[in-house]
Amino acid sequence: MTERLIHLGLLLLFPPLLLGVVNKTKAWFAGRNGPPLLQTYFDLAKLMRKGLVLSTTTTWVFRAAPVVTLATVLLAGLLLPLGRAAAPIAFTGDLILFAYLFGLARFFTTAAALDTGSAFAGMGSAREVTFACLSEPALFFAFLVLAKLSGTLTLTQMLHGPAGGFPPAATAPLILVALGLFAILLTESCRIPVDDPNTHLELTMIHEAMVLDHGGPLFGVILYAAALKLFVLGALLLHVAAPFQAAYPWQEWPLFIAEMLGLAVLIGIVESVMARLQMRHVPYLLVSALLLCGFGFILLVR
Amino acid sequence: MMVSLGLVLAAIGLLGLSGLPACLLPARSPAGQRLATALMAGGSLLGLAGLALAFGAAAPPALELPWGLPWGRFRVALDAISILFLAPVFVVPLLGSLYGLGYWPQAAHPENGRRLGCFYGLLAGAMALVAIARDGVLFLVAWEAMALAAYFAATLEEENPEVRRAGWVYLVATHAGTLCLIAMFALWRQATGSFALVPAPPLPAALAGTLFVLALIGFGFKAGLMPLHVWLPGAHANAPSHVSAVMSGVMLKMGIYGLVRMTAVLPTPAAWWGGTLLAVGAATGVAGIAYALGQQDCKRLLAYSSIENIGIIALGLGLALLGRSLERADWVLLGLGGALLHVWNHSLFKSLLFLATGAIIHATHTREMDRLGGLAKQMPRTMALFLLGAVAICALPPLNGFASEWLLYVGLFRTLGLGGAAGCPAAALGAVALAMVGALATAGFVKLAGTVFLGSPRTEATRQAHDPGASMLLPMGLLAAGCVGLGLFPMLAAPLLAAAAHAWTPMPGLATAAAELPLPWITRLGLGLVALAAVLALAVMALLRGRPRASVATWDCGYARPTPRMQYTGASFGQSLVGLFSFLLWPKPAKLALRTLFPPGATFASRVPDAILDRLVRPLFALLGRQLPRLHLLQPAQTHLYLLYILAILITLLLWGG
């Protein structure tokens, strides 16, 4: 019960901090002070106090999309184990629901973008669905590897590995899968080198271009859902990239939080030292992710 | 228990003849069309009652009657597989007929309304007969009646050359398939000694393999497996929308039914059968939906998406075959169960989408999505129903597409050989293909729904559109309710699916595998998702109560006067994906080159022609058309010479055979 409460608390409260850590890291690299660590919370509080400005072109789809996105990401967060604790909801085949919940979010986000009738939003949503066609199969390759290694189809057991930890033969496939998942994480959470969350040139954006017309509390919901998505995908990656166990049970949650913050710092470093890829080169990155996960699979079943 | 079969036979009679009374009435009288719908309603209700009775029966009811033909017998039976395929036959055509009252009213179409009524009913009746026939000859008779009725119903607007062309391609393709089926049944008779479709004794591997390949090609033509799909997009796009709904939602499934039935009566399959079907299904799924992305015609997009869904169903059937060869009951149950549930699901959401698209065509008189836009404001009900169908067909939770694909995914993951069991990891790649299909389908249906319903109207015709009347909305609403119902409560179909798997192959372990399915979780989480979204929506609404609210033009990056022409079109939305899949699609290169300092006006068109039909089949047939007239020597248009040919061939055959 306590574990579930901690899970829920972390899921609901922790994600905005990740964005703060990423931005702080970037600021440190650029030699700036940067916004405070808690800036995202301040932003959210401010947005939630605002009124609503809606485009005359839009319909209920535009207003429903943020809410549906948040609901799906929240539910996905409940299907995923955080650290060594089991997920609050677990059943055979939950990994498929996990992946398809993000699909539902994508359907509504991209449809809402088209609802504005803006060419920029259309551009962003076309890019979003295009890149998803490569990242989704890559994610399933990763799931195949994890399912084969653990022998189950339940996310908790798949990500925690067999009882005695992953066997030594699993190291190489897991490294490949971790690299692939990192690329998927960067894509899905709209980070450099795929998308630049800070850009002000609409032509080059993906996620930000889609939500240009949202404002006020609805934009707050979008921002919060984006942070949650980064958190959920990050937690997924951590299982593969850092399958460490703490010495004592009480250390499990601090270890998970430390790993999560480390991941945010890593994302900040990637954003600082890399340039955004040209839009037509993004598929290469995603195909590489697909191939990395695919090679992991082949290594495992050969 | 014979009552159930009698009810179904009576239903077939009523459906098949439902259009005839109208022929006795004047061409403009609406009474005939109403009578036809009433007859279909009566027939369908009788049929559904028969199905319910048959499912409750201890043994599948069967019937055998003498008939006048020298071959075959009138042998019919009603097992769980038949029940499963009959249910859509008794639902979708009836709803389509109801829809037709508003969509294709007799009074507005005196020239062809009665023809449509006749062949529409015949199509429904013939499909039902196909699903219960247990004799090769009877099956072929029903099959051909179905194919021809569909031809006459689909080519209603034959004054349009495009419709004639599509009809012609359909007729050639369906007969190419039927030829394979005739060969298959002839071989079947040779192998088993009768035309009866009952489980065969063990056959030599080569013979069984040949039968399987002939069935795969023959039924593949009807189902639309790539590369045999050539007839499908044209025929579906050019038929009246409720005929498209029946063709796509039900008739394609008869090809699947044929495959399921033949694999049920053939002896234990070799592993390559399942492997082939898995590979063909995965390729059909990916290529079908990739083609859909390149289409600008709403109904062609839906037709290509039907090909994709047939691919998904074939994937499941392949998994089940593989499970049968390798004796894995869980693969059989998940593969066949997922495939058959998808048969139902696709007949619900694809019919819904075709009917909703018909409502758009009815209101705007165009199928070109780039001439539409912003219809959400003019047609809010159609839009809500269409959006629901789109979410369902993308297999997104909590609607029905997700339930069937979830079964397939679990089955495909099981082929990894989890927990020490033997596996077939190559088959697990099907899960990756399915994931790609899912992502592409989302792209395709966001494109379709977004271009047609969202944004602002691109043409004047769009501004004048309005929601259709109740007779068109009601069938769509019922189909949508089916999508929601099966999505939230898939376990309602589970007993029938398990019974069908048992009828397909009575393998030990099926019942255990069925009991282990965590279908209740889909219900719980589906309801949970809906509740969570509702709570969040209410919370946001409560937050916004009393807050200032402003309506302004779309921001468009500071450009003050955006016009509808500046919106992203469907073509531009799909462009990057078409580019990504150009190795598969071979799109027509469309480039605007600026050659002078002051370039004159230019036109730009992006088109994705069907690689098989437009680049292979058509040129091949054109070549044959040029070369074959040389054979006119043998065709002198003199009847007595033709009779001589027949006599000569008969004598040759007699000498050869005797």
CA angle at residue B487 from B485 to B489, to 5 degrees?
65
Q: Is the pLDDT of residue A77 over 80?
A: yes
Please state, in angstroms and rounded to a whole number, the distance separating the CA atoms of residues B203 and B51: 33
At CA B10, angle to CA B5 and CA B12, rounded to 5? 95
- Out of A121, A122, A301, the one facing B425 most closely (by C-beta) is A301
Q: Which residues of B touch A71 (CB under 8 A)?
A: 529, 532-533, 536
Q: Is residue B398 within 8 Å of residue B488, measured between CB atoms?
A: yes
Q: For residue B70, give the DSSP letter.
A: S
Whether chain B has a CB inside 8 Å of the CB on A187: the answer is: no
Q: How many angstroms separate the CA atoms of B466 and B364, rounded?
A: 9
Question: In terms of CA atoms, which chain B residue is nearest residue A92?
Answer: B518
Q: Would the pLDDT of B336 be above 70? A: yes
Position A164 pLDDT exceeds 80: no
pLDDT at site A276: 86
pLDDT band at B607 (very low <50, low <70, confident <90, very high): confident
Given CB atoms, is A115 within the 8 Å cutoff of chain B? yes
CB–CB contact B456 A117 (8 Å): yes
Contact A55 B554 (CB under 8 A): yes
pLDDT band at B512 (very low <50, low <70, confident <90, very high): confident
Residues A92-106: tens digit of each pLDDT? 999 999 999 999 999
What stretch of H or E contains B45? helix B30-56
Tell me how far apart the alpha carbons of residues B387 and B484 are, in angstroms, rounded to a whole number: 12
For chain B, state the CA radius of gyration.
26
Averaged pLDDT for residues B22-45: 91
Cβ neighbours of A68 in B, within 8 Å: 533
Is-contact A85 A3, C-beta < 8 A? yes
* Res B1: pLDDT: 53
**Dihedral sign from CA coordinates of B17, B23, B26, B27:** positive
- Whether residue B396 contacts residue B442, with contact meaning beta carbons closer than 8 Å, is answered with yes
Question: Average pLDDT in the B541-567 region?
Answer: 84
Confidence of residue A111 (pLDDT cuts 50, 70, 90): very high
SS (H, E, C) A195-264: CCCCCCCHHHCCHHHHCCCCCHHHHHHHHHHHHHHHHHHHHHHHHHHCCCCCCCHHHHHHHHHHHHHHHH
- Nearest Cβ partner of A103 from B394, B573, B576? B394
For residue A300, which of B418, B132, B458 has the smallest C-alpha distance? B418
* CA-wise closest residue to B589 among B579, B577, B599: B579
**Over B176-223, what HEC string results?**
HHHHHHHHHHHHHHHHHCCCECCCCCCCCHHHHHHHHHHHHHHHHHHH
- Nearest residue on chain A to B518, alpha-carbon basis: A92
A chain contacts of residue B419, beta-carbon cutoff 8 Å: 151-152
- Compare all CA atoms of chain A with the CA of B521 and give the residue at the minimum distance: A91
How distant is the Cα of B208 from the closest Cα of chain A, in angstroms?
Answer: 31
Q: What is the enclosing helix (H) or strand (E) of A35?
A: none
User: Are B533 and A127 a contacting pair at CB < 8 A?
Assistant: no
Say yes or no: A122 contacts chain B, CB-CB below 8 A: yes
Q: Is the pLDDT of residue A11 over 80?
A: yes
Which amino acid is it at B604?
F
Residue A230 pLDDT class (50, 70, 90 cuts)? very high
Contact B439 A133 (CB under 8 A): yes
Percent with pLDDT over 90 in chain B: 68
What the block records as the tokens of A249 is 């049970």
Neighbours of B426 (CB within 10 A): 13
Report chain A residues whose CB lies below 8 A from the CB of B521: 91, 93-94
pLDDT score of A301 more than 80: yes
CA distance A171 to A166: 8
A 195-214 → B contacts, CB under 8 A: 202, 212-213
Beta pairing partners, B63: B76
pLDDT of residue B480: 96
Which chain B residues are within 8 Å of A66, Cβ to Cβ? 540
ipTM, two decimals, is 0.96
Which residues, other chains included, contact A171 with Cβ-Cβ below 8 Å and sequence gap of 6+? none
Long-range CB contacts (within 8 A, 24+) of A277-285: A277/A193, A277/A194, A279/A127, A279/A204, A282/A127, A282/A131, A282/A187, A282/A193, A282/A194, A283/A130, A283/A131, A283/A134, A283/B580, A285/A183, A285/A187, A285/A193, A285/A194
- The SS3 call for residue A179 is helix
Test A92 with B435 for CB contact under 8 angstroms.
no
Cα B140 to Cα B148: distance, rounded to the nearest angstrom: 12
The pLDDT, as a whole number, for residue A204 is 67
Nearest one of B593, B577, B573 to B585, comparing CA atoms: B577
Of B417, B428, B536, the CB nearest to A71: B536
CB contact under 8 A, B556 and A118: yes
Residue B658 pLDDT grade (very low, low, confident, very high; cuts 50, 70, 90): low
Write the residue in A48, A104, A140 that is nearest to B396 by C-beta.
A104
> Counting Cβ atoms within 10 Å, is residue B172 exposed (0-12), middle (13-18) or buried (19+)?
middle
The residue of chain B nearest to residue A100, with distances taken between CA atoms, is: B396
The predicted pLDDT at position A23 comes to 93
Upper half-sphere CA count for residue A69 (Cβ side, 13 Å)? 26
B391-449 pLDDT tens trace: 999 999 999 999 999 999 999 999 988 877 778 888 899 999 999 999 999 999 999 99
With contacts defined as CB-CB under 8 Å, which chain B residues touch A155?
none
Q: What pLDDT is recorded for position A201?
A: 64
Interface test with B, best of A73, A107, A139, A299 (most B CBs within 10 A): A107
| pLDDT(B647) > 80 | yes
How far is Cα B135 from Cα A5, in angstroms, rounded to an integer? 63
Collect all residues with Cβ–Cβ distance below 8 Å to A42 and sequence separation of at least 6.
Answer: A36
CA distance A117 to B65: 63
Name the minimum distance, in Å, from the CA of B137 to any CA of chain A. Answer: 44
Looking at residue B425, its pLDDT comes to: 86
* Structure confidence at residue B28 (pLDDT): 86
Whether A157 has its CB under 8 Å from any CB of chain B: the answer is: no
Q: Do B576 and A48 touch (CB under 8 A)?
A: no
Which of B312, B399, B404, B432 should one mutate to test binding to chain A, selecting the residue with the greatest count of A CBs within 10 A? B432
- pLDDT for A202: 62
For B191, counting Cβ atoms within 10 Å of its Cβ (0-12 exposed, 13-18 middle, 19+ buried), the class is middle
* pLDDT for residue B153 is more than 70: yes
In order, the DSSP letters of B354-373 are HHHHHHHHHHHS--BGGG--
Of B402, B454, B516, Cβ closest to residue A114:
B454
pLDDT at B468 over 80: yes
Residue-wise pLDDT tens digits, B44-55: 999 999 999 999
pLDDT value for B213 = 96
CA distances from B210 to B100, B197, B227 (A): 43, 17, 19
Give me the amino acid identity at B495: P
Element (H, E) at B598: none
d(CA B542, CA B353): 34
What count of other Cβ atoms lies within 10 Å of the Cβ of residue B314? Answer: 30
Q: Assess whether pLDDT exceeds 70 at residue B585.
A: yes
Q: What is the pLDDT of residue B601?
A: 79
The CB-side HSE value for B384 (13 A sphere, CA atoms) comes to 10
Residue A203: the pLDDT is 66
If one compares B488 and A161, the residue with the highest pLDDT of the two is B488
Q: Please give the residue of chain A at the shortest CA–CA distance from B569.
A: A122
Name residues whose C-beta falls within 8 Å of residue B596's C-beta, 6 or more positions apart in sequence.
none
The predicted model gives A54-64 an average pLDDT of 92
Q: What is the pLDDT of residue A13?
A: 95
| Strand A52-55 with B62-65, pairing | unpaired
- Interatomic CA distance for residues B383 and B452, integer angstroms: 9
Residues from chain A contacting residue B420 (CB–CB below 8 Å): 151
Contacts of A301 in chain B (CB under 8 A): 416, 425
Give the chain A residue nearest B446 (alpha carbons). Answer: A111
Residue A41 C-beta-side C-alpha neighbours within 13 Å = 10
What three-state secondary structure class fits A52? strand
Sign of CA pseudo-dihedral A170, A175, A177, A181: positive
A216 and B387 in contact by Cβ < 8 A? no
Q: Is the pLDDT of residue A163 over 60?
A: yes
* Mean pLDDT of the B16-35 span: 89
Q: Average pLDDT of chain B?
A: 91
Q: Which of B432, B446, B533 sits opposite A111 (nearest CB)?
A: B446
Report the share of chain A in percent with pLDDT over 70.
98
User: Higher pLDDT residue, B2 or B623?
Assistant: B623
